[in-house]
Amino acid sequence: MTKTYLQDKGRKKNRKAKVWAYLLIAVIVSGVYLDSVRWALVKTVSTVSYPFVFAGKTVSSKLGFVSYPFKSKGEMLREIEYLESRNAELESQLLLAETFREENEELKSFLGQTNNREYILGSVVFRPPQSPYDVIIVDAGSENGVAVGMRAVAYSNIMVGSVAEVLPKTSKIRLISFTGQETGVLIGDSGVPATAAGIGGGNMEIRIPSSVSASTSDKIITGGSFPLLVGAAEKIEADDLSPFKRILFRVPVNLNEIKSIMLEK
């Protein structure tokens, strides 16, 4: 009985040893396998994600202005208004430069005549819709020498209106586009004399005989030795049944961008 018991006990020890050995081998193998799997997964994820990470870094570093599209609507509108105003100013200067170039030969005979006009500068304090449409208020009045009838000039070469009322410290400027306001002008290279009438909202019209030649983009200026720009023809309406045709144009400045007005003495 004792011998049999010892043999059984030895067998049990051998079985336990084998089991532990198998478990150890399994752990080692599984560990190696899992490490391989983990490493393979890491390599795969890294390989797949790297282009996106690199692209993201590249975009962030090289496109520093990426936040630009997210500017507020107000900021973008202000920039657009400024650019439109600047464009109108440059166009007016170009039109006047062309006028002076074309008339250079004629003006040579008047070289002794100089521009001795004097101005009173006023800052715009009210404009539509704070003031009535086609009316602006400046902070220069009778105390500064302003008088009714003085011409109002923007950017030194664009006529925008005239002084309608004067108070001690402020003046009301009625724009040339004020409904019913009339301004003597010359049209195109031939200098056809005409009267421009305001129709409101910065818009103006000129009625001339149908027989008179006129084209869109014709410059419209004031008379005199030192003309001021009033605008450029934008649309011409003609009717075979009418003896007149209608030239439509706008004041060539953005009134919302004008900061100051020169009042001609």
Q: List the alpha helices (DSSP H) in the chain.
A: 2-62, 73-102, 104-107
Q: Which CATH superfamily is domain 77-265 in?
A: Rod shape-determining protein MreC, domain 1 (2.40.10.340)
Dihedral sign, CA of 89, 90, 95, 100?
A: positive
pLDDT at 154: 92
Residues in the chain: 265
Confidence class of residue 93 from pLDDT cuts 50, 70 and 90? low
Rounded to an integer, the average pLDDT of 102-113 is 50
Rounded to an integer, the average pLDDT of 79-85 is 74
C-alpha atoms less than 13 angstroms from C-alpha of 104 in its C-beta half-sphere: 5
| Adjacent-strand bridge partners of 95 | none
List, in sequence order, every beta strand (DSSP E) within 104-210: 119-126, 135-138, 151-154, 158-166, 171-175, 182-187, 192-200, 203-209
Per-residue pLDDT tens over the stretch 18-66: 555 555 555 444 444 444 444 454 444 444 444 544 444 444 444 444 4
Question: Is the model's pLDDT at 81 over the cut of 50?
Answer: yes
CB atoms closer than 10 angstroms to residue 207: 15
- Cα(6)–Cα(130) distance, integer angstroms: 114
Tokens of 79: 């920039």
The C-alpha R_g of the chain, in whole angstroms, comes to 42
- Cα(87)–Cα(73) distance, integer angstroms: 21
